[in-house]
Amino acid sequence: LDAEPRPEPRAGFFFVSLLSTAMFFQNHYRAMLFDMDGTLVDSAGGLADAVNDLRRERGLPALPVERFRKAASAGSPALLKAGLGITPDAPEYLAVREEFFRAYDRRCGLAPALFPGVAEVIGRIRELGLPWGIVTNKPQAFADKIVDASPVLGSCRAVVGARLELLPKPEPDGILVALEALGVPPEHSAYCGDDARDILAGKRAGADTIFAAWGYSEPYAPEVLALCPKRILERPEELLEILPRD
């Protein structure tokens, strides 16, 4: 889904991946947590549509969804910069952000598009009886609306979005809240996301970390590799290989 081809993994990294796979099987996870945008949900289209609503209201032409794909995991500051050239230090930023939130609220609950393979993975997690949840920096109201609109996502037992009382990722607060709700300690869990801050948040929480290379960020970027996620997966279906056995 990335606009540019990804480099092939290095031989040394391949060896680490094989070792990590063996470690995964030994861990027998008792809970799985996921980021939302760029990991479970291919939300770039809906986010692009909301920003383009603002552009049309200003007499500007709509931009292609590819313009917003890399910004989709980085939240409203990145999206508004990509679509309108507005940054958080602009005097009008807060007003424009609220306008964007209203536009997105009209769209986010309309049949969320899941990445291919996600439904199969969640189905397997349910078959195993593993509790699972979602931890996202998306505002809680939007996260709840998307989960409610998807029968697949609706099977999760914890949805933690942006809240006033929680620090956003890369801080571990949301992950720890979700694990408390699931009744599982961090060392028996894994967190999967498509951004470097997801990996950092997972590590700070004490969970194993999985980088979702099918998402919106470059998986072999230095800031990702420097964090040493336990596994980098190219497709959601690869998660089936690291789930506990029956």
Q: Looking at the annotation, which residues are catalytic? A: 35
Amino acid at site 35: D
SS3 225: helix
In angstroms, how far is CA 31 from the centroid of its own chain?
A: 17
Which amino acid appears at position 6 of this protein?
R
Burial class of 149 by CB neighbour count within 10 A (0 to 12, 13 to 18, 19+): middle
Q: At what angle do helices 93-105 and 140-148 cross, to 10 degrees?
A: 10
Sign of torsion, CA 62 65 68 72? positive
Q: For residues 130 and 104, what is the distance between their CA atoms, to the nearest angstrom? A: 32
End-to-end CA distance of the chain: 32
Q: How far is CA 94 from CA 20, 53, 76, 87, 88, in A?
A: 43, 17, 10, 10, 8
* Dist. CA 53–CA 103, nearest whole Å: 7
